[in-house]
Structure 1
Amino acid sequence: MERKGSKAYDEEAFFQEFMKRRYRTDSPNLSIEKPALLQLIGNPKGWTVLDLGCGDASLGLDLLEQGCTSYLGIEGSNKMFEEAIRVLETTNGKIELSSMEYYSYPPEAFDLAVSELAIHYAEDIETLFQSIFQTLKPGGRLVFSVQHPLLTSSFTSSESGKSRSSWVVDDYFHSGKRVENWMGEQVVKYHRSIGEYFSSIVNAGFKIESLIEPKPDPQNFSNPEEYKRRMRIPLFLLFSCTK
């Protein structure tokens, strides 16, 4: 059965396996993507923050510890929602159970909108970016990461539970739905090229400050062979934008 967006995480076995992989030693999320995302965000002190597809809200905990004034995470998975509440229970951070597509975006309410590896689950990014634009204060920023389009273009080389030693790039310019066999579930994602992300962001009214494909840092890896493997292909694409 296909699982769209965050719904795969409500399957107990999938949720447990994801959490184990997410926080494993040399996880690319922790060693490559998150350091790059935090660098793009900069100092959040005094900011009001909206986190779209917040997962377990670990990013929210980091931002609150760094001094953001308020944090609201939007999460569509019941299990992730419950985990996020647990993670933030000693803070003033808040979580709302909703998909980013159906969240009611208040006008000019936030200084920063952030999204970590979630927007590639959204089918309509044109409307999504427009909603984010109107919910930011003048001068507000959008910083987000997605799975790199070289990976979402084709799932031919995907072998669930195994480390890839080769990658297939195919159908790159054919945008749209992809179904990935990931950890025992058929997970729906949406592929678009780097240029399509760029155009959708600009069409919504944003000015793009940075576009990066973060390069692995050997200091963030305990296993030299894993570092070498991660140097072979970009895993993530990140944007920093201003209203």
Structure 2
Amino acid sequence: MRQNIYDDPTFFEYYKKLRSTGVTFNDFIEQPALKALLPDLQGLNVLDMGCGFGKLALAMVEKGAEHVTGADISSKMLSLAPKIPQITYIHAPMEELNFEAESFDLIVSSLAFHYVADYDRLMVQIAKWLRPGGTLVFSTEHPITTAKLDMEGWIEDEQGNRLHYAIDNYGEEGQRSTHWVVDNVIKYHRKVSTLVNGMIAHGLIVQQIEEPESIPEGLEKMPTLVHERRRPSFILFKAVKS
């Protein structure tokens, strides 16, 4: 069974409240970077894998996408997603999606691939579903942050000042378990080379890699985001099907 922490009542209420603030790592780091990697959306047929509340799907429609298919494992999140004719939602884990070959001009995913156990199979499917010349854009937690087996990286002094970030177990790919609001949140650690080579192996040409820092507004509203220069939280990729 796929893990679905987003339908856990405690986690969902916390996450919904957090995202509603508009003052998060997503708002100031990940989403600006991801949107900057998107191609011209005019007339595109798009698949959003792990679409959550549907905010990105809506934004892509507003930028000219002809249709967006949003898929997510969480029924609670999909229940709050905007319902408009240009967006179709599928309630399913991304590992169980099935589409005809060459169905999409663009496949996008925001911070969801680190929940998938079989990355290679995911890339096989994405390469199949993309039309020739189609684009993949995705973000994932940076391997620096997922490497340590205990996933606790910052080393602090007695006053709580961050001294440095510890990296260990980087080459030991696989499952990690962490506490994030609830216990035993499962993620999967992969090296940067694994992420890149997984695309190359299936005919996806990597065009751009980003390790973003905060936009200026984020540094004003969340001063601790200055630490992103010391250790990036996210890594993003843009690739095109050959």
Q: Fold match, TM over 0.5?
A: yes
Provide, for residues 183-210 of structure 1, a one-character-per-residue CA deviation record: whole Å limited to 9, x for no partner: 0231111000101101111111100000
Aligned residue number for residue 211 of structure 1:
209
Task: Work out the CA distance in 2 between the residues paired with 1:178 and 1:226.
Answer: 25
Partner residue of 2:223?
Answer: 225
Q: What is the letter of the counterpart of residue 98 of structure 1? A: A
Q: How does 1:1-243 map to 2 (within 5 A)?
A: 4-5=2-3, 7-84=4-81, 87=82, 89-154=83-148, 155-157=150-152, 165=162, 167-223=165-221, 225-243=223-241
What is the aligned-residue RMSD (CA, Å)?
Answer: 2.0
Equivalents in 2 of 1:142, 1:225: separation in Å?
A: 32
Partner amino acid for 1:8? I
Write the distance in 2 (CA, Å) between the matches of 1:33 and 1:158: 20
1:212 maps to a residue whose letter is E
Aligned residues: 234
Is 2:45–2:106's contact at 8 Å kept on the other side of the alignment? Answer: yes
- SS class of match (1:174): coil
- After superposition, the C-alpha distances for 1:6-30 in whole angstroms (9 at most, x for unaligned) are x111111100111222343531111
Q: Where in structure 1 are there 5+ consecutive unaligned residues?
A: none
Q: Does the C-alpha gap of structure 1 residues 156 and 164 become closer, same or farther in structure 2, counting only changes over 3 Å?
A: farther
User: TM-score under structure 1 normalisation?
Assistant: 0.90
Normalising to structure 2: TM-score of the pair? 0.90
Gap runs ≥5 in structure 2: 155-159
CA offsets, 1:201-227, max 9 Å, x none? 111110000011012232343336323
Over 3 Å counting, the alpha-carbon distance change for 1:170 and 1:24 in structure 2 is: farther
Residues 16-49 of structure 1: CA distance to partner in whole angstroms, max 9, x if unpaired? Answer: 1112223435311110110110010032111000
Q: For residue 140 of structure 1, what is the amino acid of its counterpart? A: G
Mean CA deviation greater in 13-22 or 129-138:
13-22
Query: Quick one: structure 1 residues 167 and 24, their matched pair in 2 at CA, closer, same or farther if it must change by over 3 Å?
Result: farther
The answer (yes or no) to whether the contact 2:151–2:178 under 8 Å persists in 1 is: no
Distance across 1 between alignment mates of 2:32 and 2:217: 12
Quick one: percent identity of the two aligned structures?
A: 32
User: Amino acid of the residue matched to residue 146 of structure 2?
Assistant: T
Letter in 2 for 1:215: E
SS, match of residue 201 in structure 1 = helix
